[in-house]
Structure 1
Amino acid sequence: MKTKSSKRIRDIIYYVFVISLGFTMLYPVLWLVSSSLKPEPEIFGNAVSLIPSEIDWMNYVEGWAGFGGIGFGTYFRNTFIIVGIVVIGTLLTGSVVAYGFARLEFRGKAILFACLMATLMLPIQVTLIPQYIVFNNIGWVNTFYPLIIPAFVGGQPFFIFLMIQFIRGIPKELDEAAIVDGATKMQIFWKIILPLLKPALVTVAIFSFMWTWDDFMGPLIYLNNASLHTVSLALRNFMDATGSTNWGPLLAMSTLSIIPQIVLFLIFQKQIVGGIATTGLK
């Protein structure tokens, strides 16, 4: 009886701790959603409370109307276009390059793989100015091309390494059996490796979606026309340089901006965990 009582107390303490920790981590998101429904004077006047005295939907109406004659729907459309194309490019390029490193033997493979690993530690600021000069010289500034073309040319080194590790875990006997049946290297990739690579591809797609959706630096540098701006830039435009900020619409649109990522994570959270756990990363 005493043992059961002690176990029950430990369980209660554990669940109280976990719930408290979870609430602490979720509080900023809950505050964001709650404040987006508050009248503007109440946002910081009663900042601690998560329950608005009255629900003000005008924050969403004003926020969606945008500014400068451009509605927020345009910014969401631009973001979805960039994100969708980048995800496709990342999956295509990354899977092909990863297959080459994991399965094929060619001259200079060790050097190229070392370069790939080195780029994982290369800060983005190092390549920012050279890339801008190149894209400016070919007339791509103020277009979506600088944001989407690199996904089809170089890919993301982290995602490539993730898929390399996953492919290395696939038995090579499958390749050998396919070669005996007369399959080419490309047929092995499309018919054997790619279908088995699905967990890693889902993981890469989700992280690529989230990182591209949240990207602020790239659109800030390359997109000058307001009609081409993404959601991240549009949210920044709610803040005036003089210090005046329309907080209600800003928080309302911020709430809408995180919904796609939350929905994506909730739908594919098992695939995210499974994809990472089976890549062989330690």
Structure 2
Amino acid sequence: MIGIKNNNYSNLMKDKNYRKRARKRKINLAIRYTLLTLVAFVMLYPIIWLIGASFKSNSEIFSSVGFIPKKIDFTPYINGWKTGTQYTFGTYFLNTFKYVIPKVILTIISAVLTAYGFARFDFPFKKILFGLLIATLFLPQVVTKIPLYLFWKKLHLLDTFAPLFVGSAFAIDTFFVFMLIQFFRGIPRELDEAAKVDGCNSFMILLRILIPVLKPAIISVGLFQFMWSMNDFMGPLIYISSVNKYPVAIALKMAMDTTSGTFEWNQIIAMSLIGLLPSIILFFSAQKYFIEGIATSGLKG
């Protein structure tokens, strides 16, 4: 009987300790998630405020810190979409995609081929050329603006979209090339040798063996280039002079009419949010591959 009582007492204490640990774990999780939620809210508050401000009037934007508008008004979106020119905001959207999409495609193709050459082949002056490639990372882009402008002027391609994306066909984005080289170096060469035994040439090895492994890195390159190109203001400002060819970045600047002295901030904010949508949608659609591409550098062991 004494032994049974001791066992019951021992089991009771174990149950109490287990419930105590479970309660403590729940409290810790609640505190942790509460802190994370508060930090996330603070980080996201500017975006949340912008969404609310896009439905406010100009006077309400500067008189209220809160993000909830007094009433939902779609007038800023309607008037902002019409713009103050003879073209709608949709025209500027299409103009943006006319050079952003080709630039992304050409960047991926040229960066993959260039990185493949440096990572997998031996050729004369390879180390010197690679050093020069890396050296261009330290070259300020502003230094190249005037020579490039004169170059495209000689080719009579100013006021076209060509200067904004044609250069990407020649792997001018060194960061992406270097990034992919590191991924290639992380892939075992045994895969190449096994493919050669099966009769694959260098191009087929790249296409069938290496590119599927590099998919996270390639998607990361595409996402980076897409977001950077969508936000590019200086490039279109230098090469594009016709209003009907302006992209979103310049269209938003035109909405800030400095001659009148008053800005329709609700319309500018509304169109800025619409301009952000493609990047946001693309990022969340490929978030899994993007994070994997940034976090890894080749095959996982």
SS at match of 2:138: coil
- How far residue 154 of structure 1 moved from its aligned partner, in angstroms, is 2.8
Partner of 1:251: 269
| Consecutive unaligned residues in structure 1, runs of 5 or more | none
Q: Is residue 209 from structure 1 mapped to residue 226 from structure 2 by the alignment?
A: yes
Partner of 2:167: 150
Partner of 1:139: 156
- How far residue 54 of structure 1 moved from its aligned partner, in angstroms, is 1.1
Pick aligned residue for 2:45 from 1, 24, 27: 27
Q: How does 1:171-250 map to 2 (within 5 A)?
A: 171-242=188-259, 243-250=261-268
Most deviating of 9-18 and 244-253: 9-18
Q: Is residue 45 from structure 1 mapped to residue 63 from structure 2 by the alignment?
A: yes
Within 1, Cα distance between the matches of 2:84 and 2:130? 47
Q: Which amino acid aligns with 2:246?
A: H
Q: Which amino acid aligns with 1:108?
A: F
Deviation by residue 1:179-203 (Cα, 9 ceiling, x = unmatched): 2333322222222222222111111
Change (3 A) 1:177 1:7: closer
Deviation by residue 1:182-234 (Cα, 9 ceiling, x = unmatched): 33222222222222221111111111111111111111111111111110111
Within 2, Cα distance between the matches of 1:181 and 1:5? 60
Pick aligned residue for 2:279 from 258, 261, 265: 261
Partner of 2:9: none
Whether the aligned pair in 1 keeps the contact of 2:183 and 2:217 (CA below 8 Å) is: yes
Tell me the TM-score normalized by structure 1: 0.93
Whether the aligned pair in 2 keeps the contact of 1:39 and 1:55 (CA below 8 Å) is: no
- How far residue 32 of structure 1 moved from its aligned partner, in angstroms, is 0.8
Within 2, Cα distance between the matches of 1:262 and 1:186? 34
Pick aligned residue for 1:18 from 24, 28, 36: 36
SS at match of 1:56: coil
- How far residue 6 of structure 1 moved from its aligned partner, in angstroms, is 5.1
Within 1, Cα distance between the matches of 2:241 and 2:164? 13
- How far residue 50 of structure 1 moved from its aligned partner, in angstroms, is 1.0
Within 1, Cα distance between the matches of 2:213 and 2:172? 20
Q: Which amino acid aligns with 2:61?
A: I
Within 1, Cα distance between the matches of 2:208 and 2:21? 57
Task: Report the number of matched residues.
Answer: 279
| Consecutive unaligned residues in structure 2, runs of 5 or more | 1-16
- How far residue 12 of structure 1 moved from its aligned partner, in angstroms, is 3.5
Whether the aligned pair in 1 keeps the contact of 2:256 and 2:263 (CA below 8 Å) is: yes
Within 1, Cα distance between the matches of 2:285 and 2:203? 32
Identity, % of aligned positions = 44
- How far residue 155 of structure 1 moved from its aligned partner, in angstroms, is 3.4
- How far residue 4 of structure 1 moved from its aligned partner, in angstroms, is 5.4
Deviation by residue 1:39-90 (Cα, 9 ceiling, x = unmatched): 22211122x1111111111111111112220110001001112111011001
Whether the aligned pair in 1 keeps the contact of 2:98 and 2:161 (CA below 8 Å) is: no
Pick aligned residue for 1:169 from 146, 171, 186: 186
What is the CA RMSD across the aligned residues, in angstroms?
1.6
Q: Which amino acid aligns with 2:55?
A: L
Q: Is residue 159 from structure 1 mapped to residue 176 from structure 2 by the alignment?
A: yes
Look at both structures and tell me which one has the larger radius of gyration over its CA atoms: 2
Within 2, Cα distance between the matches of 1:147 and 1:250? 25
Whether the aligned pair in 1 keeps the contact of 2:76 and 2:266 (CA below 8 Å) is: yes
- How far residue 102 of structure 1 moved from its aligned partner, in angstroms, is 0.6
Within 1, Cα distance between the matches of 2:30 and 2:125? 59
- How far residue 163 of structure 1 moved from its aligned partner, in angstroms, is 1.0
- How far residue 125 of structure 1 moved from its aligned partner, in angstroms, is 1.0
Tell me the TM-score normalized by structure 2: 0.88
Q: Which amino acid aligns with 1:228?
A: K
